[in-house]
Amino acid sequence: MEPIILASSSPRRQSILKKLEIPYTVVVPDCNEIMPERGNPEELAELNAMKKLKAAVKLSKKEITARWILSADTLISMDGRIFGKPGDRDAAAAMLRAFSGKSHEIITAMCFFSSHDQRTSTKISRTKISFIDLSGETIEKYLETGEWQGAAGAYKIQGIASCFISRIDGSYSGAVGLPVNLLYEALLEHKYDFIV
């Protein structure tokens, strides 16, 4: 298989590619993500993923050569509100309190670019997550772990926060940050030589 450029510093996305045995090189795109408090979550995630992709394409033309580039953006939506990565511990606590005993959606937009035909595929994954009721003490103990840092919605579904989840409807890998089934669709569309 040919290597792809992963336009993301996310260790979770890297882990998924490793499990799929897809060779990759990480490029951290120089772009500012847009994260308003309200808006269409699918459009926003797609916009941010596309910004990362375009920055990586621009960089690849100057410094590196690759036929394939992958980018993604993950955010959380609940009651019309958008939740990105918390800026500090207080913001993380507020997010977890908001999710307590309720359901929210994790939206991941993924873009896959092929240089040989100059075409981009965009895919959107929506996963509904239901949380148990969280006490103030539980939230404080979780914040002490530091797992909330750098995570959309102040938690990582594959980590300690999995204890808080009572139900998942949709793609688990999409909630982690890279929907494997949609990635596979994109690979097939672009005739990437995958193992299956």
Tell me which DSSP letter residue 153 carries.
G
What CA–CA distance (Å, rounded) separates 158 from 163? 10
Residue 121: count other Cβ atoms within 10 Å of its Cβ.
Answer: 17
What CA–CA distance (Å, rounded) separates 165 from 133? 10
Which of 73, 88, 133, 193 does the annotation list as catalytic?
Answer: 73
Catalytic residue list contains 73: yes
Long-range residue pairs from 77-82, CB within 8 A, at least 24 positions apart, any chain: 77/41, 77/104, 77/105, 77/107, 78/102, 78/103, 78/104, 78/105, 80/38, 81/37, 81/38, 82/35, 82/36, 82/37, 82/38, 82/39, 82/41, 82/44
Q: Which residues pair with 82 in a beta bridge?
A: 77
Q: What angle do CA 88, 89, 95 make, to 5 degrees?
A: 95
Active-site positions? 73
